Amino acid sequence: KQPSIPTDELIERVTSSIEEGAIPVEIYNDLGIFQREMDNIFGSCWVFVAHESEIPNKGDFVQRRIGIDPVIVTRGGGGDINVLSNYCRHRGTQVCQTDAGNSRFFKCPYHGWTYSNNGDLVGTPHVQDAYGERMDPEKFGLFKAPRVESRHGFIFASLAADGPSLDEYLGGAGWMFDLVVGLHPKGLRVAGPPERYQVKADWKTAAENFAGDTYHIDSLHWSVEEIGLAQGFQANTAISVTYEMDNGHAFNGHTWTKVIHPGYVLWGYPPEITEKFDLSEMDETQMFVLNHEPPATGTIFPNLSFIRIAAAIPPGTPPTILTSFRQWQPVAPGVLEIWNWQFVWDFQTPEEVEAAQQLGQFTFGSAGIFETDDTVAWEGAPRAAKSPWMKREQFAFNFDQSKRSPIDRENDPNWTGPGIKRNTGFGEMNQLHFYRQWANVMRDGIDGQLNPARKEGQ
């Protein structure tokens, strides 16, 4: 089916309407847009594929996805990390049919071509009878992601041979990432495989929500406040802070926990955990953020988000901290698969891991109290995008908070970290920053990836 509005025209429309604080509804369920996203965004940006703790030993592998393409992330015999296309070079069958395991080889189930775990073609059944001298195995290894880099164990891959390095791409978000996941030499590790579930939503809605939507908390998640699981929602948006980093990345310091724990530092981690942290590498501003306004959610463009919050279950007990990384996997126009990992510090005890897992499931698991609120709300966008009536109305989503600029919505003039900090959760600036990045990469691919955070009025 042909897209109803030419894709280039729709992208231009987004570019101009962003400045009016509006996003045309069509981009949330359009085949042409989806195909361009796969090509320009997932085909060029640094995309998270796995955490090193998921493949600690030689031969370990996990099956993952870059956009709609299945990839195998392997730990080779030399400890090297490979990101391999999971399409057999013979007829495209998936050579790896399981989510995770340990193997030196992947044997395609169809005709038996066999690849080593670094992607080399090492076996072709009946090779002499079938191909004679014509088979050159060097030409038929699995395709490999040309660039793979890790940061604090988080493995990112880019399908573009050239372009900004991971460091350049992350920019100030790398600085923030350091203080979220780099507080201990051994770092974080996964508490288990990612939970996966599909919802009829668009991946951008989820990414944008985690980049900047503090505004929804005291409405959509009010039941969480009502049952006493977390408190302070009503004040949250006003007292939150937002961090807009270069290249479309953004973070939110949701601060509701301050309301219940006035002395709250480091997300509310208890002393038996904070005393194990090594903060010697943190600069002065990172220490300020850690002690006063640590980011509770954030999005690394395009589709990796995290949440770290404290909550008490049952209410009245000491709070536990959860760290969930989630990846918004596009499946088809208007269809999203959520991948949800719980992370714990490498040094945490089995009891602490269990508590974090339980809290993670209770809040942001597939049946979690926050997650079910969010995903139902997010299903409106692709439905509206398919509505002939809404198209006639030229329905555009309202990001108008960004256009009103009371003084407290401006950039914090005293901010000494990278990017821009704003001392309120109102403003929807982070969301528009995400969409500006989206439009630039949709239009220009790799050449559109480096975009500075923008000061008010620029």
User: What minimum distance in Å lies between the beta carbon of 109 and ligand FES?
Assistant: 7
User: Which DSSP string corresponds to 103-163?
Assistant: -SEEE-TTT--EEETTS-EEE-TTHHHHHGGG--GGGGSPPB-SEEEEETTEEEEES-SSS
The residues binding Fe ion (CB under 5 A) are 374
How far is residue 224's CA from residue 74's CA, in Å, rounded to a whole number?
Answer: 40
Nearer to Fe ion, 374 or 428 (CB): 374
Which entry of Fe ion, ligand FES, none binds 144, CB below 5 to 8 A by partner kind?
none
DSSP state of 442: H
Nearer of residues 119 and 333 to ligand FES, judged by Cβ: 119
Q: Nearest-CA neighbor of 117 among 147, 148, 86?
A: 86
For residues 404 and 120, what is the distance between their CA atoms, to the nearest angstrom?
A: 57
Q: Measured from the CB atom, is 96 or 322 closer to ligand FES?
A: 96
* Contact of residue 113 among Fe ion, ligand FES, none (CB under 5-8 Å per partner type): ligand FES
Output the CA torsion 151→155→161→165 (10° steps).
-10
**Distance in angstroms (rounded) separating the CA atoms of residues 86 and 76:** 16
Report the distance separating Cα 138 and Cα 149, nearest Å. Answer: 24
Q: Kindly state the smallest distance separating residue 120's Cβ from ligand FES, in Å.
A: 15
Write down the least CB distance from residue 138 to ligand FES, Å: 17
* CA–CA distance, 279 with 451 (Å, rounded to integer): 30
* 275, 245 Cβ separation under 8 angstroms: no
Q: Name the minimum Å distance from CB 307 to Fe ion.
A: 9
Looking at beta carbons, which residue is closest to Fe ion? Answer: 374
What is the contact surface with ligand FES in residues (CB under 6 A)? Answer: 88, 90-91, 93, 108, 110-113
CB of 374 to Fe ion, least distance (A): 4
CB-CB neighbours of 202 under 10 Å = 27
DSSP 411: B
The nearest distance, CB 192 to Fe ion, in angstroms, is 23
- Closer to ligand FES at the Cβ: 113 or 328? 113
Half-sphere exposure at residue 48, Cβ-oriented, CA atoms within 13 angstroms: 24
- Which among ligand FES, Fe ion, none contacts residue 111 (Cβ within 5 to 8 A by kind)? ligand FES
In the complex, least distance from residue 426 CB atom to Fe ion, rounded to whole angstroms: 16
What residue 108 binds from Fe ion, ligand FES, none (CB within 5 to 8 A, per partner kind)?
ligand FES
Burial of 311 (0-12, 13-18, 19+ CB in 10 A): buried
Taking CB within 5 to 8 Å according to partner kind, which of ligand FES, Fe ion, none is near residue 41?
A: none
Q: In the complex, what is the shortest distance from the CB of residue 115 to ligand FES, in angstroms, rounded to a whole number? A: 9
Q: Minimum distance from CB of 132 to ligand FES (Å)?
A: 18
Contacts of 188 (CB under 8 A, 6+ apart): 51, 53, 152, 153, 181, 323, 343, 344, 345, 346
**Nearest to ligand FES of 63, 401 (CB atom):** 63
Q: Report how far residue 428's alpha carbon sits from residue 135's, in angstroms, rounded to the nearest whole number.
A: 57
Name the residue nearer to Fe ion (CB basis): 246 or 374: 374
Q: Which is nearer to Fe ion, 175 or 362 (CB)?
A: 362
Least Å distance, CB 104 to ligand FES, is 18
105 versus 222: smaller Cβ distance to ligand FES: 105
Say which residues have a Cβ less than 8 Å from residue 234's Cβ, sequence separation at least 6: 218, 225
HSE, side-chain direction, 13 A CA sphere, residue 30: 23
At 411, list the tokens: 């950039």
Instruction: Determine how β-strand 154-158 pairs with β-strand 396-398.
Output: unpaired
State the nearest-atom distance from the C-beta of 137 to ligand FES, in Å: 13
| Nearest CB to ligand FES, comparing residues 107 and 184 | 107
H-helix or E-strand containing 283?
none
Q: Which does 107 bind (CB under 5 to 8 A by kind): Fe ion, ligand FES, none?
A: none
Rounded distance, CA 244 to CA 129, Å? 61
| 110: partner contacted, choices ligand FES, Fe ion, none (Cβ within 5-8 A by kind) | ligand FES
Closer CB to ligand FES, residue 123 or residue 270? 123
Which residue, 128 or 317, has its beta carbon nearer to ligand FES? 128
Which entry of ligand FES, Fe ion, none binds 374, CB below 5 to 8 A by partner kind? Fe ion
